[in-house]
Amino acid sequence: MPSLVKSRPFKKKKIYNNFGNKFKKRIKLIYPEFNIPLQYIWILVIIIVFIYWVFFVINNTILKPENYIQNISYGKYSVDMYDNPELYKKIWDLIRWENYFVVSKFKKREILSQLKSEFIMVKNISIVQQEKYGAAVQLEFYEPDIVVKLWDKKFWVINGKDFEIFSGNQIWSDTFFVELPQYTSGIDSIYGLFYEIPYEKFISDMWTIAEWFPNYKRVVYLPWALMTAVFTAKDQRVYINNQNSITWQIELYNNLNTFYKDASSLRIIDLWSLEDNMIIVQ
């Protein structure tokens, strides 16, 4: 006889932890999940490091009191080459009380430009920190085109501008120099020296003379006569006309020494002063 009661298969009932589910949901609300790409994390790290580095640099340069210049020393080379007190006073005014890192890194070009506007012989400036509250300055100079000697004064000349060279300066030691005559003794400057003869021609003429008379004793320029007197090693006085071709006159001088047997006994030789191709001798 069949059974009236039918058994059902046993199923394990899943018990839900409502408290745990509520806690997890609350955690998600308070701390949401972050899904940030790795490259953005690295960018954030780099920005933080950069900000720290900037702060470190500023703190050790701009904000340090010992980096502000109170004492200035000048290199021996600079002073020996050119010791114009006005030049070094200008440097003093430009960099004293300034921050060393600012003037040596960021304002150097501006400082150099201001120096060149007044002292065109200055080629470059170097500012180094050798001690706290101090800076050492070294200068580089251009070579002059020529040096003009006016009695006991010497003038450094470049690009048509001149500056007086002080006693003991070495900036002109390796440069050819020309003297002015005795009748210019009342003149304190060489202003107007290149009025009659263009500056470029004057410089070219002087260096041509120095090349063709390597053993000269003196070279004297006569500005109002527009002539140059060369005192040679043979105790000759050779006059050259700066209004005419220097090369042609030197060629005449060489022909005189070649074809005139008593040329060495001549004391005065005037090349091309009165007439073309005419040489006056004594």
State residue 188's pLDDT score.
63
Give 9's pLDDT tier (boundaries 50, 70, 90): low
- For 249-272, how does the pLDDT look when each residue is reduced to its tens digit (9 = 90+)? 888 888 888 888 888 888 998 887
Domain ranges of the chain: 19-60, 67-141, 146-281
Task: Collect all residues with Cβ–Cβ distance below 8 Å to 232 and sequence separation of at least 6.
Answer: 213, 215, 216, 217, 238
State residue 72's pLDDT score.
92
In three-state form (DSSP H/G/I as H, E/B as E, the rest C), the secondary structure along 249-273 is HHHHHHHHHHHCCCHHHCCEEEECC
Section 9-38 average pLDDT: 55
Section 11-18 average pLDDT: 53
- For 204-244, how does the pLDDT look when each residue is reduced to its tens digit (9 = 90+)? 999 999 898 888 889 999 887 888 999 988 888 999 998 88
- For 61-115, how does the pLDDT look when each residue is reduced to its tens digit (9 = 90+)? 666 788 889 999 999 888 888 888 899 999 999 999 988 888 888 899 999 999 9
Task: Collect all residues with Cβ–Cβ distance below 8 Å to 112 and sequence separation of at least 6.
Answer: 122, 124, 125
CATH entry, 67-141, from 3.90.1570, 3.10.20, 1.10.287, 1.10.3470: 3.10.20
State residue 136's pLDDT score.
93
State residue 68's pLDDT score.
86
146-281, which class in CATH?
alpha beta
Give 53's pLDDT tier (boundaries 50, 70, 90): low
- For 149-204, how does the pLDDT look when each residue is reduced to its tens digit (9 = 90+)? 887 788 888 888 888 887 778 877 777 789 888 766 556 667 677 777 888 888 89
Give pTM, 2 decimals. 0.68
State residue 58's pLDDT score.
65
CA atoms of 49 and 46, how far apart (whole Å): 5
Using alpha carbons, select from 234, 237, 231 the residue that is nearest to residue 273: 237
- For 60-76, how does the pLDDT look when each residue is reduced to its tens digit (9 = 90+)? 666 678 888 999 999 98
**Is residue 57 pLDDT above 60, yes or no?**
yes
State residue 93's pLDDT score.
94
Give 30's pLDDT tier (boundaries 50, 70, 90): low
State residue 126's pLDDT score.
93
